[in-house]
Structure 1
Amino acid sequence: MPETDTGAPAAEIPETVATYLRLRGLEPSSASWRRKKRRRRDDDENQPFTAGRDPKGVADVLADLTRESGWDRELAREDVVRAWAEVAGEGTAQHTRPVAFTEGALTVQADSTAWAKQLQLMRAHILTEIVRRFPEAGVETIRFVGPDVPSWKWGPRTIPGRGPRDTYG
């Protein structure tokens, strides 16, 4: 059996590796081959069929991305807006819409002050449903407001003060 310069038998090195090393001008030695072989075994991230190498679905990849990016709360809040008809009910959703999230408070605007008052009576039920379905949203309270009222405080010729009170006779 031929020996290398280190005295180790060359039969321990695969013939393909020994040929490659000879062509590169290197003398094959079994000690260097064992070091390379050991190094390759330690590198598990490139080995097929090992833990963590299974392909992931798109949903899993997106869930990991949103969690790592810190988008869970914002996406849960968007889910509340998207599913408002299911949470509040179809009839209620026709007359209301969520307009803002601020510091744990969801603001919902109603078509009329009557709807806003009715929803205040249903506040506990709606809040319980939101917390049950979307706990990541962080909704702690709900505020119901009526429609926007016209303001006299706009335009290029606005004057400070109480405004045109005497025009109502």
Structure 2
Amino acid sequence: MSEDRPARPSDIARAALEAARAASASRPRPTRRRVAGPRRSWSGPGPGADDPQPLGRLVDSLVSNEDWSSRTKVGSVFGRWDAIVGPDIASHCRPETLSEGVLLVVAESTAWATQLRLLAPTILGKLRAQVGGDVVTSLRVVGPTAPSWKKGPRSVRGRGPRDTYG
């Protein structure tokens, strides 16, 4: 380049590039080390185990790994009651307790309690199909109850707390 004319930007860039190449060529090359262990292979077009997973699949694997399957089945009886028995029946009764395979269902009236006792085999079939056969083995249907003076599993016959009033 001559001293009379100013340097063009492309000449400055070219000189900087040549200086960087020269500095890179004089530096020693690092050696590549292989990492011990299996080589990573591509998972292919489908989802692999290390790809993000759907939430439902992760929850299912957690339930099976922690052995919570019986608790989730019991919870699904109460949580999915409307879907299992249908909205018509579910609007007139509700599941109360489930112990040792016996599901206690409380009906809104004695007429609905009678109807549910007649539908018990059908309801049990639906529960076996959607939840599992070992969760609910029998259905106990009760109607609405009046307030009781009984407290606890044992009681004495009589009028209750009012029998001392004369």
User: 2:64 aligned to 67, 71, 75, which one?
Assistant: 67
Superposition pairs of residues 39-54 of structure 1, within 5 angstroms: 40=36, 43-44=37-38, 47=40, 49=42, 52-54=49-51
1:123 paired with 2:120, answer: yes
**8 A contact 2:127–2:133 mirrored in 1:** no
Q: Distance in 2 between matches of 1:108 and 1:102?
A: 12
Q: Distance in 1 between matches of 2:106 and 2:90?
A: 10
Larger radius of gyration: 2
- Identity value in percent: 29
Q: What is the DSSP-based 3-state SS (H/G/I as helix, E as strand, rest coil) of the residue aligned with 1:108?
A: strand
Superposition pairs of residues 76-155 of structure 1, within 5 angstroms: 76-135=73-132, 138-153=135-150
How big is the alpha-carbon RMSD for the aligned residues of Structure 1 and Structure 2? Answer: 3.0
Q: Distance in 2 between matches of 1:100 and 1:72?
A: 18
**8 A contact 2:112–2:143 mirrored in 1:** yes
Moved more, 135-144 or 121-130: 135-144
For residues 108-150 of structure 1, the C-alpha deviation after alignment (integer angstroms, 9 at most, x for no partner) is 1111222212111111101101111111771111111122321
Q: TM-score, normalised by structure 1?
A: 0.61
Larger relative helix fraction: 1
Shift of 1:81: 2.0
Q: TM-score, normalised by structure 2?
A: 0.62
Gapped regions of structure 1 (runs ≥ 5): 1-14, 19-32, 155-159
AA partner of residue 104 (structure 1): G
**8 A contact 2:102–2:137 mirrored in 1:** yes
| Equivalent pairs, count | 127
* Moved beyond 4 Å, runs of 4+: none
AA partner of residue 49 (structure 1): W
**8 A contact 2:96–2:106 mirrored in 1:** yes
Q: Distance in 1 between matches of 2:133 and 2:52?
A: 27
AA partner of residue 47 (structure 1): R
